[in-house]
């Protein structure tokens, strides 16, 4: 498909009619007012670091929501391989090893946020405003979903904030779906879309 604009035909300067260039249409006061009220959101580059694999059916839903998120938000899921577990394995050592993998993946300029059952909870509107506040200072966020045995002390020390999706405990695949949906919901709220319904 040719996406290039059509070439302009040369003006015949001997033909007064062909040389007339029309003035652009003037915006009405209503159109100007609507433009000035257009919602503004700060750019965000979020990487979601997730320890362990997720079932394909959960991944499909996660990416369905993430594909709906528009620029200037860009979200990337970064899988972290779990450490093999055995009956005789030391859980603390496993958590530390997974933590080392997470720390190796983090970038110095990223603001690190843990998803943790004891973290701060938000309502959807409150969370969207908090994301807007964070990205007004720095667009780069790293959100960490740890393994089944939790976060290593070194990862906790690196985090600037701890968030909780709910006081309930979710299977990690479900947690990823909820996170993706809430990110899409947060952007919809900031852009003034009608996806969110209070009280529903």
Distance, CA of 80 to CA of 199 (rounded, Å): 36
Tell me the per-residue pLDDT of 27-69, one tens digit each, with 9 for 90 and over. 565 544 444 467 899 999 999 999 998 889 999 999 999 999 9
Q: How many domains does the chain have?
A: 1
- 106: CATH: 3.40.1280.10
In a domain, 182, yes or no: yes
Q: Report pLDDT digits (tens) over 65-112.
A: 999 999 999 999 999 999 988 766 789 999 999 999 999 999 999 999
Domain with 107, as residue range(s), is: 44-191
In a domain, 27, yes or no: no
Q: Partners of 154 in the beta sheet? A: none
Handedness of CA 109, 172, 128, 41 (dihedral sign): positive
- Does 70 map to a domain? yes
In a domain, residue 37? The reply is: no
**Domain contains 169:** yes
> Is residue 100 domain-resident?
yes
- 170, 178 Cβ separation under 8 angstroms: yes
Closest by CA position to 66, among listed 52, 81, 47: 47
Residue 98 placed within a domain: yes
Look up tokens 């450490």; give the residue.
Answer: 83
């Amino acid at each position: 498909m040719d996406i290039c604009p059509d070439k302009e035909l040369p003006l015949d300067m001997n033909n007064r009619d062909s040389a007339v260039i029309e003035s652009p249409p003037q915006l009405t006061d209503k159109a100007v007012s609507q433009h000035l009220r257009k919602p503004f959101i700060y750019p965000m580059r979020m990487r979601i670091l997730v320890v362990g694999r997720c079932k394909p059916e959960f991944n499909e839903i996660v990416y369905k929501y993430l594909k709906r998120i528009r620029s200037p938000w860009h979200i990337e899921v970064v899988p972290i391989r779990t450490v093999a577990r055995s009956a005789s394995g030391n859980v603390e050592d496993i958590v530390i090893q997974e933590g080392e993998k997470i720390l190796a993946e983090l970038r110095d300029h990223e603001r690190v946020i843990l998803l943790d059952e004891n973290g701060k909870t938000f309502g959807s509107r409150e969370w969207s405003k908090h994301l807007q506040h964070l990205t007004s200072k720095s667009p780069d966020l790293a959100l960490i979903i740890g393994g089944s045995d939790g976060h290593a002390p070194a990862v906790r020390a690196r985090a600037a904030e701890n968030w909780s999706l709910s006081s309930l405990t979710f299977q990690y695949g479900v947690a990823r779906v909820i996170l993706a949906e809430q990110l899409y919901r947060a952007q919809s709220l900031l852009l003034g879309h009608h996806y969110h319904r209070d009280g529903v």
